[in-house]
Structure formats: C-alpha cells, structure tokens
C-alpha cells in the first residue's frame, strides 16, 4: 500500500506487567510513549501474579491510552489504525489490552491490527535506527523466549534457532532469586555483577551440535549446584564475581550461536531485542565480537528493550502497510509463535 500521507498508529501493550500505549508516525517516529509499570507492586511476591496483573491492567488501560493520545496532541479520529499485542503473554493480561483496542476500533471505525509481541521487540530497533532496514538477523531474548530470527522483510521472518527449555531471562531471574536479589532479577543481577571477575566461576555448557538452538536449563542447574555445594561446605559465593561469571556464560552461549547464524547465512547485520538485550554483559560481548568480525550491530535504547507500546505501534505500522486487518473477534494467544 503506497501512500504519501503520514500514517499514525496507536499501539497498545498489556502482555505481562506493563500497561502501555503509544502513538508512532510512519513506524519510526514516536509521538508519545506511556508505560504504567506494575513491577514495584509484584516485587513483594517475587514475580508477576497473573490475576493481579490483569486487574491492574483494567485500572490502567484507558488512562494510559488517553495519556498517549493527549501527549501526541491528537484524538482518536486522527489515527489510522489501532495495533495491539495479541500474544504471546499472560492470557488475562493480553485480554485487557485486546478488549480495550477492540472497543476503540468499534467506536471509531478504525481498523484493528493484531501484533505478535516478539515481532514488536524486533521492531524496537526501527524506532532507534532510522536507517535500519531488513534483511538482518535478530537475537530476540526476553523473559519467555530466546531465539535467533532471520528478519527477511518487515513482516516476513524465519526462526533459525530457539531455546529448547528455559529462556535466557528465565535463567537469569531464577538464579537472581536464589542469590537473594529478588524481582525483577535481570536489572538487579546486571547491577550486582558490575566490575566482577567473569572467569572466577565456571558453569557447564550444553552443546547442540550444528543446531542454532539454545539450552539454558543445564547452565541454570550447574549454577544451583555450585551455590548448594559451597553452602554445604559453609562457604558463601562472592555475589559480584558469581553474577558476573553467570551473565558472561549466558552471553557467551547467545553470542556463539548468533555468530554461527552469521556464518551460515552470510548476513553481517545483527540486531538485539527483548528485555535481556538491556544486559550490559551481553551488549559488551556482542560489541567486541562485532568489531572483530566486521558485523554491523544494533541494539535499542534501554527503555525500548523492555515492554513498551511504541514497538507494538511500529510493528503494527509495517503489518498495516502490508495489508493486515483483524476482525473484532481476534482472540488472545498466550503461546503465539514467531513463524
């Protein structure tokens, strides 16, 4: 669909513990970006409580949308489509954003565009790098997913490798809890490991032959065994060195397969995406390797790594331009895959 007119997309995101709404122009220019985070509330439970998350989305969803429209200085009638995350994520949480989006579409007669949350994470890079265009490889690493994606076009993608068990974010969050860092584990572990010795503790690695798939459950178990083994001897881990070593081991595993994907495809343009792409150990491992191997590396600004609606609006724009329209019976898919 070719057009000279600016296209404004209202994006809505509620797949986990962030209620977010944003207006984005032409898939790249952010006019507003509002996020109501529940993270502080769920901290007392050590993780997201799904039913409470849904209820908090109900409270926050319309005020957040209203703020996104008013920050962008527009009204609902000015937008071209409503893009909303319909999976993957917590079903009760997804249904709140989805139902709100449908209500807006019904009253305004604007089209509804369903967005895969993982494609949204990838699109966060378009918001930060004006010149970035497919094709490229993307390492998409979040709380629920770890995958290497061949982004052939804005809407056409192929997964080259994915985790066979835990996601990298899960492996980080679990060990963060065990060493007493609490929730949300990722940013806390990142901070705890700053300046630590990344070689002091060793963890077992899983080899997958030529496959680009990952496995993090072995690494996680080996970290648990190390902690328990030391405890039995009456010794404590050195938190700084332990968290630095653990994050380095995870980063090395993610880097190794991504470099193998570069070799296999010959594509020397790589993006990082998802919550774990905020990790400083991962970023620095990729920075170093990319310089050495002549790879052009992109990763989003920190605030676009974790859940937000600007990335949903950006992805929604490209889906909209590709002709995607969803009907008002679009359902939520908690295990939606990237094809």
By CB under 6 A, is residue 300 in contact with ligand KG4? no
Q: Nearest approach, Cβ of 85 to ligand KG4 (angstroms)?
A: 9
CB of 324 to ligand KG4, least distance (A): 21
For the chain, the helix, strand and coil percentages under 3-state DSSP, each to the nearest 5: 45, 20, 35
Nearest to 246 by CA among 188, 318, 316, 193: 193
CB 140 within 8 Å of CB 113: no
Q: Does 190 bind ligand KG4 (CB under 6 A)?
A: yes
Q: Does 143 bind ligand KG4 (CB under 6 A)?
A: yes
All residues at 6 or more sequence positions from 230 whose CB lies less than 8 Å from its CB, including other chains: 236, 237
Binding mask of the shown chain, residues 12 to 51, with x at each position contacting ligand KG4 by CB under 6 A? ----x-----------------------------------
Which part of the chain contacts ligand KG4 (CB under 6 A), choosing from 92-100, 178-186, 262-270, 310-318? Answer: 178-186
Stretch that binds ligand KG4, among 51-59, 155-163, 168-176, 330-338 (CB under 6 A): 168-176
Q: Could you say which of 173, 213, 319, 326 contacts ligand KG4 (CB under 6 A)? A: 173
Span interacting with ligand KG4, options 1-9, 228-236, 270-278, 324-332, rule CB under 6 A: 270-278
Tokens representing residue 150 in the block: 């061949």
* Chosen residue from 27, 274, 300, 316 binding ligand KG4 by CB under 6 A: 274
Distance CA 81, CA 62 (A): 17
**Span interacting with ligand KG4, options 35-43, 98-106, 182-190, 212-220, rule CB under 6 A:** 182-190
What 8-state DSSP symbol labels residue 309? S
**Dist CA 126 CA 267 (whole Å):** 18
Among 185, 193, 196, 300, interactor with ligand KG4 by CB under 6 A: 185
Q: Binding to ligand KG4 by residue 116, rule CB under 6 A?
A: no
Q: Give, in order, the Cα–Cα distances in Å from 99 to each of 57, 58, 84, 96.
A: 11, 10, 10, 5
Under 8 Å between Cβ of 1 and 81? no
If one asks whether residue 192 binds ligand KG4 (CB under 6 A), the answer comes out as: no
Check binding of 97 to ligand KG4 (CB under 6 A).
no
Q: How far apart are CA 83 and CA 73, in angstroms?
A: 19
d(CA 71, CA 311): 17
In this chain, which stretch among 92-100, 230-238, 268-276, 320-328 interacts with ligand KG4, using CB under 6 A? 268-276
Q: Which is nearer to ligand KG4, 16 or 24 (CB)?
A: 16
- Per CB under 6 A, the list member of 27, 134, 187, 300 interacting with ligand KG4 is 187
How many alpha carbons fall within 13 Å on the CB side of residue 37? Answer: 9
Residue that has been written with the tokens 């008013």 in this structure: 70
In a 13 Å sphere around the CA of 235, the CA atoms on its Cβ side amount to 8
Does 279 bind ligand KG4 (CB under 6 A)? Our answer is yes
Query: Where does this chain bind ligand KG4 (CB under 6 A)?
Result: 16, 121, 142-144, 169, 172-173, 184-187, 190, 274-276, 278-279, 306-307
């Amino acid at each position: 669909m070719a057009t000279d007119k600016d296209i404004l997309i209202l994006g809505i995101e509620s797949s986990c513990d962030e209620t977010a709404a944003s207006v984005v122009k032409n898939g790249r220019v952010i006019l507003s970006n509002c996020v109501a985070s529940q993270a502080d509330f769920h901290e007392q439970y050590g993780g997201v409580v799904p039913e409470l998350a849904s209820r908090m989305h109900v409270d926050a969803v319309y005020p957040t949308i209203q703020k996104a429209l008013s920050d962008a200085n527009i009204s609902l009638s000015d937008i071209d489509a409503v893009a909303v995350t319909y999976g993957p994520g917590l079903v009760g949480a997804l249904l709140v954003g989805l139902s709100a989006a449908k209500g807006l579409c019904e009253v305004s007669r604007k089209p509804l565009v369903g967005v895969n949350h993982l494609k949204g994470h990838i699109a966060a890079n378009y918001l930060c790098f004006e010149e970035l265009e497919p094709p490229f490889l993307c390492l998409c690493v979040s709380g629920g997913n770890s995958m290497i994606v061949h982004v052939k076009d804005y809407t056409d993608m192929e997964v080259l490798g994915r985790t066979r068990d835990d996601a990298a974010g899960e492996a980080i969050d679990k060990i963060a809890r065990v060493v007493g860092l609490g929730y949300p584990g990722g940013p806390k572990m990142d901070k705890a490991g700053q300046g630590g010795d990344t070689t002091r503790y060793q963890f077992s690695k899983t080899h997958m032959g030529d496959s680009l798939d990952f496995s993090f459950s072995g690494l996680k178990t080996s970290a648990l065994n190390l902690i328990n083994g030391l405890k039995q001897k009456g010794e404590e881990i050195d938190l700084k060195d332990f968290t630095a070593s653990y994050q380095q081991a995870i980063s090395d595993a993610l880097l190794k397969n991504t470099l193998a994907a570069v070799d296999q495809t010959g594509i020397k343009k790589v993006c990082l995406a998802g919550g774990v792409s905020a990790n400083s150990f991962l970023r620095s491992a990729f920075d170093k390797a990319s310089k050495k191997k002549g790879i052009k590396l992109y990763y989003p600004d920190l605030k676009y790594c974790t859940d937000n609606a600007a990335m949903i609006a950006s992805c929604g724009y490209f889906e909209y331009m590709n002709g995607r329209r969803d009907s008002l019976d679009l359902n939520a898919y908690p295990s939606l895959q990237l094809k």
